[in-house]
Amino acid sequence: MEKINKESTITESIERTLDNMEVLTKSLSCKLISMEGPWHVCRQRCEFSNRVSVAASSKVQEYLATEKEIHILDETAMQTLHISYGSSSDVLYLPLSFESTHLGALLLEYEKSESALKNWDKHFFTSVGTMTSLAIGNALKACMLSILEHVNHLFSEQMELQERLQMIIEGTRQVFGDEYHSEIFLYDPVDQLLELNASTLAEEKKWSDFTTSAESGLNGWVIQHNQMIGVSDVNADARANQDHAKLNRIKSIGIAPIENNGRILGVIDLFSSKKKEFSSEELWVLNMLAQHAGIAIADALAYHQMKEMAMIDPVTGCFSRQYFETRSMDEVSKALRNGHMLSVLMLDIDHFKQVNDTLGHQTGDRILRQVTSVIQNNIRTSDICARYGGEEFIVLLPQVSQPAANRIAERILQRVKKETDPSVTISIGIASLHSSNTSMEELVEQADKALYYSKEHGRDQVSIYENVHQRVQILDEQ
């Protein structure tokens, strides 16, 4: 993830705050020790100096969480906090908080005078702590907002759903750090399942192994309650799916629901192999990412549906010529690479203009749909049937030889006459892939010539290009 231009401003803001407090309090030195939480999120974006301790030890974190009053540090406390100052100085401890969030503590070194703080000193340093908290809290908030702004920019481009999901989880991991992994489960409300669709940990080929019930586990709890959670010790939580946690070595996890316009789409997981408390700020960022994910997923689904609609012929419901041309090139390349057979059918409804002229276009459209149904019911689901134009259809038959393609064509020919009302006939041309024709353009051209031969020689029949080509050559020689 590229750098955000606001980073230097945020870092400088915190440094400037420390400098100002040092001058204001006439301190010899000023150091900030931070709690985990918003600092942990923002350290991915900012380069803090040695004056700011971001990755404090568990003992330091415990001290910061426990000591919430202004006081002078004794020797034991200084050892706990790993502070070493000259013997002629005291170190003053000022707890910092912002919008009900504990940020950490400001440590001020000043000349030793009295062993205890006077009341007026406490009032003064309380004001110092308030000003420091406000400045640093606003800087951290700006940092988190800049992260979300950048993530939102990453999600703004149109792309396929799977690509977008992967970008979301990779962005989430980059925001929170490499010690975390992230996953997205999409919700299937029909079968009440949560299906893994993106992961920074599990390989894609194993995603299907992680499909779980939406009525159990921590992810299921989030779906059922539509509420984000942070769990510091998964092993101690009765709601957790322990098999999944053990497999991924999950010790702590934050989960936020992904929704859009009131519709629950899934969940986004952020997990670590270490036990840790998720701060309200971290969950806030995760929830914001989930909201962006909801918008991005809904947009990707709409984009996918628009593409699908462009690939479907609106009258017949089969694929469009555009889809056929895109897909057929891939199939020809695959067949040539693997030495597989491949055949193409070109089909045309005989005298279709007379149907439209005498019976009307509504009847014509109905016959088009009936012919489509016959074709689709007599080919495999892996085969591709497309409307090629007007009353013309094209069928791609991967791994189908010429004799097999002829049998399929003859069956379709007979059933069209029986299953259309009013009954119509069709003409069919067949071309198959071999060493002399190595492109879809050549195959389509050959199938079209075979179709033309069928129509020119009585219609209601199947013609194979190789046979037609030989007959034409014989006639030319005569």
Question: What local confidence, expressed as pLDDT, does residue 113 receive?
Answer: 58
Q: Tokens 């299937």 sit at which residue?
A: 188
Q: Which two tokens stand for residue 147?
A: 């992260």
What's the token pair of residue 100? Answer: 């009900």
The answer to whether the beta carbons of residues 293 and 257 sit under 8 Å apart is no
- Residues 410-427 have a mean pLDDT of 96
Please tell me the predicted confidence (pLDDT) of residue 29. 85
CA distance 252 to 272: 5
CA distance linking residue 5 with residue 335, whole number of Å: 50
Q: How far is CA 2 from the centre of its chain?
A: 19
What is the per-residue pLDDT across 75-126, written as a single tens digit (0 to 9) for each?
Answer: 888 888 887 766 567 888 999 998 878 889 999 887 665 556 677 788 899 9
Q: What is the pLDDT of residue 178?
A: 82
Per-residue pLDDT for 1 more than 50? no
Catalytic residue flag (residue 12): no
Catalytic residue among 204, 391, 441, 456: 391
Share of the chain above pLDDT 90, in %: 37
Mean pLDDT lowest among 239-253, 402-416, 423-437: 239-253
| Phi, psi dihedrals of residue 402, rounded to the nearest 5° | -65, -45
Is residue 173 very low, low, confident or very high in pLDDT (cuts 50, 70, 90)? confident
* Alpha-carbon torsion, ordered 52, 55, 59, 60, to 10 deg: 10
Residue whose structure tokens are 């060493």? 435
pLDDT above 70 coverage of the chain, percent: 89
Write out pLDDT tens, residues 226-260. Answer: 999 999 999 899 898 877 777 778 899 999 999 98
| Structure confidence at residue 2 as a pLDDT band (50, 70, 90) | very low
- In Å, what is the CA distance from 3 to each residue of 143, 207, 285, 319, 403? 12, 32, 18, 44, 61
pLDDT in tens, 14-24: 888 999 998 98
- Say yes or no to pLDDT of 476 above 50: no
Under the banding of pLDDT at 50, 70 and 90, the label for residue 475 is: very low
Where is mean pLDDT largest: 11-15, 185-189, 354-358?
354-358
